[in-house]
């Protein structure tokens, strides 16, 4: 099986869009944690996301609360 490995840039962009769709404003770590991993936290509610270009068999490329639940601060401000 030949699967193309996603880049850190493309995963970061996808995670940012998914988080924004849930009302989060993400602050990414600069520089990234490593060449394959980066983390971000919502500036409002603290929800997080991690991207990993080389996940282990029991891991995923994009994971975290900011891609799973809506921003608590945004809900308060609506």
Residue 3 belongs to some domain of the structure: no
Token pair 């921003």: residue: 71
Query: What is the C-alpha to C-alpha distance for residues 37 and 61, in angstroms, rounded to an integer?
Result: 9
Residue 39 belongs to some domain of the structure: yes
- pLDDT tens digits along 29-59: 999 989 999 999 999 999 999 999 999 999 9
Q: Which domain holds residue 40?
A: 8-77
pLDDT band at residue 73 under the 50/70/90 scheme = confident
**Hey, which residues does 40 pair with through a beta bridge?**
28, 49
Query: What is the C-alpha to C-alpha distance for residues 74 and 25, in angstroms, rounded to an integer?
Result: 10
Question: How many domains does the structure of the chain reveal?
Answer: 1
Q: How many Cβ atoms from other residues are within 10 Å of residue 48's Cβ?
A: 17
Residue 50 belongs to some domain of the structure: yes
pTM for the full predicted model:
0.86
């Amino acid at each position: 099986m030949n699967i193309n490995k996603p880049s850190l840039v493309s995963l970061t962009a996808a995670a940012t869009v998914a988080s924004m769709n849930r009302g989060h404003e993400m602050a990414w770590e600069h520089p990234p944690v490593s060449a394959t991993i980066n983390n971000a936290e919502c500036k409002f509610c603290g929800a997080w996301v991690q991207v990993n270009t080389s996940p282990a068999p029991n891991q995923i490329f994009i994971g975290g609360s900011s891609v799973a639940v809506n921003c608590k601060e945004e809900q308060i401000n609506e």
